[in-house]
Amino acid sequence: MSFIFLTLGLWRSWLGGGIPPKGRNVVQVLTLAAICVGATWGDWVRGGVSFLALFAMARIAPHGPMNKFPLGEKSTDFILRAVGGPGGGVGRYLAYAGLRYGVLAGLWAGALQWLGYVPYGPLAGTVGLVLVYLAFTVTVSRGASLPTFTHPGDEAGNWGELTGWTVLGAALVITEYGKWLAALVTAAI
């Protein structure tokens, strides 16, 4: 069932558009809950923890400055102020992304570890997510033209969300099946 996590990229890229605004937020939250419950079928605790973590990663803090390289301006962004403001190179970009996504992924992984689950999926997936965002952001900042599908002018974010969150979902799937693979190898030895 964990293969359902592969739809995270589609879900995240849908946050910006799709259905009328009055019902969109409720439908999107319920859809994320369905993804987490479906992916962890029968394990409501892990599904609930994953839902809360993914919702926080998607909604708790902005990521607008990450769609420009070097980091763009957003005067109300507390994370941007914490890393020294707009500009900078890869180091500042990764510091911003680490605070924006890494802290939440660490809390998610810690909660999974504390509950007795494998904690590596959120951590590995978040590293992949950040690297994908960086790759698309640098590519677009250097003049590449990518197709737009939700917000014109935000191609780095559009593609970063679709691809990066799919990578995060893939890491969750691989971790789940890696656990079973490790158990089989250990049993065979």
Take residue 179 and report the two structure tokens written for it: 């656990």
Please, how many CA atoms are within 13 Å of residue 83, restricted to the half-sphere of its CB?
A: 26
Determine the residue type at 29: V
Peptide bond into 70 cis (omega under 30): yes
- CB of 2 within 8 A of CB of 170? no
List pLDDT tens digits, range 29-48: 899 999 999 999 888 999 99
Question: What are the boundaries of each domain within the chain?
Answer: 2-188
The whole model's pTM is what?
A: 0.88
List pLDDT tens digits, range 61-102: 667 788 888 898 887 888 999 999 899 999 999 999 999 999
List CB contacts of 5: < 8 A, sequence separation 6 or more.
35, 39, 168, 169, 170, 172, 173
d(CA 54, CA 107): 11
